[in-house]
Chain A
Amino acid sequence: MRRLLSLAVLLLLTQVMYSQSKNLDISGIVADTLGIPLPLSTVLLLDPVDTTLISYTRTEEDGSFILKRQKRAPALLKISYVGFMPQIINVNPEPAGDVNIGEIRLEEIAKDLFEVVVKAAKAPMSIRGDTIEYDASKFKVAPGSSVEDLLRRLPGIEVGQDGSISAEGQSVTKVTVDGKRFFGNDPKTATKNLPAEGIKKVQVFDEESEEQKLTGASSTPPEKTMNLELKEEFKKGGFGKIIAGAGTEERAEMKGNYNKFNKKEQFSIIGIGNNTGRNGLSWDDYQDFRGSQSFNWDDGGDFGFGGGGGYIIRYGGDEDDDDIGDITNSFFGDQSSGFPRNIQGGLNYSYAEEKTDLNAVYFFDRAQLTADATRNQENFLPDATYSSEDVSSQDNTNMGHRVQFRLEQKIDSLNTLVFNANGVLNQRDNLNDGTYRYYRSDNSLSNYTQYDNRFKQDARYLTGSLIYRKKFKKKGRSLGWSGAYFVNDSDQNGTQSSTNEFYDNAGLLDSTSVIEQDIAAIGLRQQVKSSAMYVEPFGKRFYWQTFYNYNLRLESVDRDVADVIQDTPSPNDFLSRYYDNRIDLHRLGMSLRYSFKGINLSAGMARQEFQLEGDFRSGPSVMIDTIIRRTFPNWIPNVNMSFDLKRNRYLQGSYTVNAREPSMRNLQPIVDNSNPLFIREGNPNLIPQIDHNIRMMFRQFSPATFTNLFTTVNYRIIDNAFVQEQTVDSLLVTNSKTINYKGGQSASASVNYGFPIIKNQFTINLNYGYSWNKRFALVNTIENATLSNGHWGQLRLNITPSEKLTLYLTGRFNLTDTKYSINAEQNQTLFNQTYSVDLNTIVVWGVFANVHFDYDIYQNDRFGFNQDVPILSASLYKVLFPNKRGEIRLSGYDLLNRNLGVNQYASANMVRETRTSTLARYYMLSFTYNLQGIDTSLKKGRGWW
């Protein structure tokens, strides 16, 4: 007890001594201007150098406060009370003793100012000494208003009839913008002419007059000055670049773009011309061109299974040109074969404000490709093989004008409308001539054909769609409706001429057929679509989703074929074809979804029905000779699972079913012998092919160790598969017909694993994939099952030791083993390997170098085929001008001159190899001027940020 007592005394003593030497108490009383105490005012003790908070307290009922045991050093005392001007007091303690500030009287902030600025407009108010400043952007004025209109709305400021300004009763004699004097002495010049939208802050303060500055006293009151601070985003932006290059082999390229934008508007222009096939347009260029319109995820109105309903169902159509109006097509895909010549250009304009989002685009595109190709093909029959050789030359031109318009209007926070309209004018001009040679298995010539086909098409496309989305007050309930119309009309003109010579086994000419035809076709396709979806939540984790899709497709084609005999055309009723098709699809579906804490499960079922109706005639004079009416009902199940396991691990799985309806062309019970060597026959008994797909995916990423793992497994089984039934006669004429047959199956799996050996300097990425595929064909009534097993693997090394050197190495193989049931000696193994090296470095004197080497090796033992294609390209470049805005570059493409345009393809009963004459070695000198500066980073594939 005694010990404790003495300890307490010691403690007390040290406390007292400590306080006397170093510490002190600061006390005072806070009151208003009338001397009435202000209880619970906040008293802050701040460091006078940087206003760092040291301590704080609040006043008692009687307005008094005490800050105990503070450091004996100069400090600031800041006292604040809601609605009063805070006061800052300097505290300069004496060497000893406490500090008593005495009574501090706070002045009330002009009531209207405080109520209007802080309470009503919720604008931050800043008080520095006696200057009050507030955020003008929080005071709403009509668009297009001047600063004067804005000032009229601000509390404490009055604007007279003549535009003169006064603040707190005193007239404002000077107006500055961003602290700088606006031209002229009249303050009204600035306030009348500047737009209110551009103003961020309005500050009013007393500025000492010249006299005051000199003498410190003045006979006149201080001048009121107003400063207008401009918004950051009101300052506009713009960027652009231009690249021009000239090369050997008569090669040249040019590319330019410019963007101008501010908070509300975006304008961009782009133009490209080249004859290298390397248009150099990437996703980045697309994004630069389209700006805020690069991604419009919610524009799919085909509601179906899945969450928000953006699921797109695709079906039908022999041609897939509904996308022809899509500008993205122009931005991707360099041509690697033939001799291309391209011109593209476009304009993009967007306007966005709170509720309205508008975009308009024009794009022009002209692509020409000339190419000479040799195609060798070997076909396998159950008892024999035959081969063919096709030497052709083509000259194709495609030209289009595209216009796109999009408007998104938010009606209110729950209702949104999206309107889209696209129009395309397209012109195609194709020229294709050459020779065919067919050889029997003993290599004797059986057929020799010379052909010359010309074809021109004019097409117009127009699409319009409207999507309405509604949310409800009840969270999770939503409604969607969409309607769309698509129309395409086209006219084609062409001539087909060929001379076919057939030879018998002895090599003697058996017969000759000459075909000289004029073809004229008019087509009209229309599509009307409408979908609706409703989602109702129940419980906190379940959603019941119902959707309905309707789709009507109308196709009408008048195709006139005339045989030209001695320059006189006479209609060929056998090949001429007039038809009108109508395809209706109804789909009604429901699904139940569970969504909670990273687990998303859904299961659903839809009933869909295709109704096909077709009328066919052979020419305008012929009566309707065929009518087809078919209805195909199907059940379509759908299961989706997704799990967010902890630690960046995700597992997903799905089971989906697709029903593909037979194409009208395959349903027509007529014989098409437009190619005398390949005769097609329709089959009115076809029913839809059903694909069942099962997918699993697992992905893991570790941000701490920078490793990632990605695995997928897919399995597909096909019911009622569309299979070709072919018979080949002794003259090697093929008759082909599509039938439903037992389906094939396929399975695939892949794994991708990436990890660093040395963090940020040496990374390895490994890929392996396996695929298995079984499919059938009927050749001369015998079932031919083709079984293929494929393995592919890739190793990629990213070596990035420094800012001055990066090296990327890739090795890849692809092994496909194909076995045929009817002709085992045709079994073959394709082995392709690709090695690539990409080296980037700084050579000397700030000259950068890039070397890219691709080495492709193709092997096929069955045909003794062994080919290697090494393509080496390199460029040297130097950055010029301040801000790295210029670049001069010397590039050499295919330095080894080995680009051969080889393509190999093997299917159930044939193998084909195509060689296309292609642009090979050339050199190019190019110059770039980029307002954003040239990116000199040597690291590539930054990927997603």
Chain B
Amino acid sequence: MTVIRPILFLFLYLGSISLAAQNISGEITYKRTSYWIKIMEELPFLSQAEKDRANLTWGSDDGYSSNYILRFTADESSYTHDETAATSDDNSWAWRKDDYLIYRDLKNRRRTDWLEMLDRTYLVEDDLQFPKWKILSEIKDIQGYVCMSAETRDTIKNQHIVAWFTDEIPVPVGPEMFGGLPGAILELEVNGGSLVVTASNVDLKPMPDGVNLPKKMKGKKIDLAKYQDLIETYLKDSVGAERNPYWSIRY
């Protein structure tokens, strides 16, 4: 008996953060829209004339959108391209989707990011650490779910991120590489709207096969520190070369 008690205690201790996750699972479809002109506004090497010109020419254009799917259970989540929509708007062209799958093992607290950038496909494997979130006071409705807001900062890409999460889906998952809030993130807004990822459909359903990872996820294995170092170096070089870095890496 004396053996069981501390183990039980330990279990409670670990469980305090992912409590009440229950058996909730499903699929969330996101529309990821980036606004090129707003991204350009952030580039330090562009002159005011160049920014004004771009804003004048394309400022009122729609952003570039594509769809992503987040599959999740109480233990894990995966976020990747929605392959059912793989052609351009007028269907005249089919782009190749880059290798991209963000896997989160919530149970064992591990991250696996399978992504293509800077000429090759990487497999970033490391312990899962969530960003430090600040809870804000706004609420709004996304797809019928009342969401609370929280913000954080990506110091490497110098981005301010606002996330809208709902405690009606009590799993700490989200789009892109974000998570760790008391509910699923249904919307992300980066740098005041340069990038907006918003849920277009929420389908809560049993996921008997889990998140169903693809069989082959090959790539050069690196850890998180190496990944961050690659991004940091590339951003510095690109700004030095006066070139928009976000043609070759994700914003």
Contact surface of A with B, Cβ cutoff 8 Å: 4-5, 8-9, 11-12, 15, 40, 42, 44, 46, 50-53, 55-58, 67-69, 78, 80, 82-83, 86, 118-119, 122-128, 237, 239, 259, 261, 263, 266, 284, 287-288, 290-292, 294-295, 306-309, 352, 471, 475-476, 478, 535, 537, 541, 543, 595-600, 644, 646-648, 702-706, 759-760, 930, 932-933, 935, 937, 939, 942, 945
Are A55 and B17 within 8 A (Cβ)? yes
Alpha-carbon separation in the docked complex, A358 to B150 (Å): 41
Per-position binary interface string of chain B over residues 143-180, scored 1 when its CB falls under 8 Å from any chain A CB and 0 otherwise: 00010111000000000000000011010000000000
Q: Which of these, A55, A57, A600, A760, contacts B237 with CB under 8 Å?
A: A760
Are B183 and A122 within 8 A (Cβ)? no
Q: Which of these, B43, B86, B91, contacts A543 with CB under 8 Å?
A: B91
Distance of A670 from chain B, by nearest CB (Å) = 47
Residue of B nearest to A57 (CB): B19
Are A287 and B2 within 8 A (Cβ)? no
Contact surface of B with A, Cβ cutoff 8 Å: 2-3, 5-7, 9-10, 12-13, 16-17, 19-20, 40, 43, 45-50, 52-61, 86-87, 90-97, 116, 118-121, 132-142, 146, 148-150, 167-168, 170, 181-183, 234, 237, 240-244, 247-249
CB-defined contacts of B19 to chain A, threshold 8 Å: 57-58
CB-defined contacts of A476 to chain B, threshold 8 Å: 87, 91
Are B13 and A68 within 8 A (Cβ)? yes
Distance of B56 from chain A, by nearest CB (Å) = 4
CB-defined contacts of B20 to chain A, threshold 8 Å: 40, 57-58
Q: Which of these, B2, B60, B118, B119, contacts A5 with CB under 8 Å?
A: B2
Q: A12-B5, A648-B119 are in contact. Are A939 and B242 (CB under 8 A)?
A: yes
Which of B19, B135, B141, B243 has the most A CB atoms < 10 Å from its CB?
B135
Residue of B nearest to A645 (CB): B96
Distance of A50 from chain B, by nearest CB (Å) = 6
Are B240 and A760 within 8 A (Cβ)? yes
Interchain Cβ contacts within 8 Å, total number: 211
Give 4 nearest A-B pairs by CB, closest first: A598-B96, A307-B92, A703-B248, A124-B140
Residue of B nearest to A648 (CB): B119
Are A704 and B49 within 8 A (Cβ)? no
Mind listing 25 A-B residue pairs with CB under 8 Å? Answer: A8-B2, A12-B5, A15-B13, A40-B20, A40-B167, A42-B167, A52-B132, A52-B133, A53-B134, A56-B17, A57-B16, A58-B20, A68-B12, A118-B146, A124-B140, A291-B56, A475-B91, A595-B91, A597-B95, A598-B95, A704-B118, A937-B47, A942-B242, A942-B243, A945-B40
Are A53 and B181 within 8 A (Cβ)? yes
Residue of B nearest to A469 (CB): B90
Alpha-carbon separation in the docked complex, A82 to B166 (Å): 10
Alpha-carbon separation in the docked complex, A40 to B170 (Å): 10
CB-defined contacts of B183 to chain A, threshold 8 Å: 42
Distance of A67 from chain B, by nearest CB (Å) = 7
CB-defined contacts of B3 to chain A, threshold 8 Å: 4-5, 8
Q: Which of these, A68, A125, A266, A307, contacts B139 with CB under 8 Å?
A: A125
CB-defined contacts of A55 to chain B, threshold 8 Å: 16-17
Q: Which of these, B134, B139, B237, B240, contacts A127 with CB under 8 Å?
A: B139
Q: Which of these, B17, B57, B118, B148, contacts A287 with CB under 8 Å?
A: B57
Given contacts A83-B146, A597-B96, 20 further A-B contacts (CB under 8 A): A5-B3, A53-B132, A53-B135, A53-B150, A56-B17, A80-B167, A82-B168, A126-B137, A261-B56, A287-B57, A352-B60, A478-B90, A595-B91, A597-B86, A597-B95, A600-B93, A930-B49, A933-B49, A945-B46, A945-B54
Residue of B nearest to A40 (CB): B20
Are A535 and B94 within 8 A (Cβ)? no
Which of B57, B150, B249 has the most A CB atoms < 10 Å from its CB?
B57
Alpha-carbon separation in the docked complex, A92 to B1 (Å): 36
Distance of A761 from chain B, by nearest CB (Å) = 9
CB-defined contacts of A537 to chain B, threshold 8 Å: 91
Residue of B nearest to A78 (CB): B135
CB-defined contacts of B52 to chain A, threshold 8 Å: 237, 239, 259, 932
Alpha-carbon separation in the docked complex, A49 to B53 (Å): 42
Residue of B nearest to A259 (CB): B56
Are A119 and B53 within 8 A (Cβ)? no
Are B57 and A295 within 8 A (Cβ)? yes
Residue of A nearest to B170 (CB): A58
CB-defined contacts of A939 to chain B, threshold 8 Å: 242
Are A704 and B119 within 8 A (Cβ)? yes
Q: Which of these, A12, A58, A124, A295, contacts B9 with CB under 8 Å?
A: A12
Q: A51-B135, A123-B140, A933-B48 are in contact. Are A308 and B92 (CB under 8 A)?
A: yes
Alpha-carbon separation in the docked complex, A53 to B150 (Å): 9
Alpha-carbon separation in the docked complex, A102 to B56 (Å): 58
Q: Which of these, A118, A478, A597, contacts B97 with CB under 8 Å?
A: A597
Alpha-carbon separation in the docked complex, A82 to B137 (Å): 13
Q: Which of these, A56, A80, A86, A119, contacts B141 with CB under 8 Å?
A: A119
Residue of A nearest to B51 (CB): A932
Alpha-carbon separation in the docked complex, A942 to B47 (Å): 11
Distance of B46 from chain A, by nearest CB (Å) = 7
Q: A82-B168, A702-B119 are in contact. Are A9 and B2 (CB under 8 A)?
A: yes
CB-defined contacts of A12 to chain B, threshold 8 Å: 5-6, 9
CB-defined contacts of B167 to chain A, threshold 8 Å: 40, 42, 58, 80
CB-defined contacts of A123 to chain B, threshold 8 Å: 140
Residue of A nearest to B130 (CB): A53
Alpha-carbon separation in the docked complex, A127 to B86 (Å): 41
Distance of B164 from chain A, by nearest CB (Å) = 8
Are B96 and A932 within 8 A (Cβ)? no
Are A8 and B141 within 8 A (Cβ)? no
Are B48 and A292 within 8 A (Cβ)? no
Are B6 and A307 within 8 A (Cβ)? no
CB-defined contacts of A595 to chain B, threshold 8 Å: 87, 91-94
Q: A15-B6, A295-B57, A600-B94 are in contact. Are A125 and B50 (CB under 8 A)?
A: no
Alpha-carbon separation in the docked complex, A50 to B93 (Å): 48
Are B9 and A15 within 8 A (Cβ)? yes
CB-defined contacts of A8 to chain B, threshold 8 Å: 2-3, 6-7
Distance of B25 from chain A, by nearest CB (Å) = 17
Alpha-carbon separation in the docked complex, A473 to B48 (Å): 43
Are B93 and A288 within 8 A (Cβ)? no
Alpha-carbon separation in the docked complex, A903 to B50 (Å): 37
Alpha-carbon separation in the docked complex, A127 to B137 (Å): 6
Residue of B nearest to A261 (CB): B56
Q: Which of these, B10, B94, B119, contacts A597 with CB under 8 Å?
A: B94
CB-defined contacts of A9 to chain B, threshold 8 Å: 2, 6
Are A292 and B93 within 8 A (Cβ)? no
Are B237 and A284 within 8 A (Cβ)? no
Alpha-carbon separation in the docked complex, A58 to B55 (Å): 46
Alpha-carbon separation in the docked complex, A40 to B19 (Å): 11
CB-defined contacts of A306 to chain B, threshold 8 Å: 92
Q: Which of these, A53, A58, A292, A598, contacts B60 with CB under 8 Å?
A: A292
Alpha-carbon separation in the docked complex, A261 to B56 (Å): 8
Distance of B66 from chain A, by nearest CB (Å) = 14
Distance of A934 from chain B, by nearest CB (Å) = 9
Distance of A228 from chain B, by nearest CB (Å) = 18
Residue of A nearest to B241 (CB): A760
Residue of B nearest to A943 (CB): B243
CB-defined contacts of B57 to chain A, threshold 8 Å: 287, 290-292, 294-295
Q: A239-B52, A939-B242 are in contact. Are A308 and B90 (CB under 8 A)?
A: yes
Distance of A289 from chain B, by nearest CB (Å) = 10
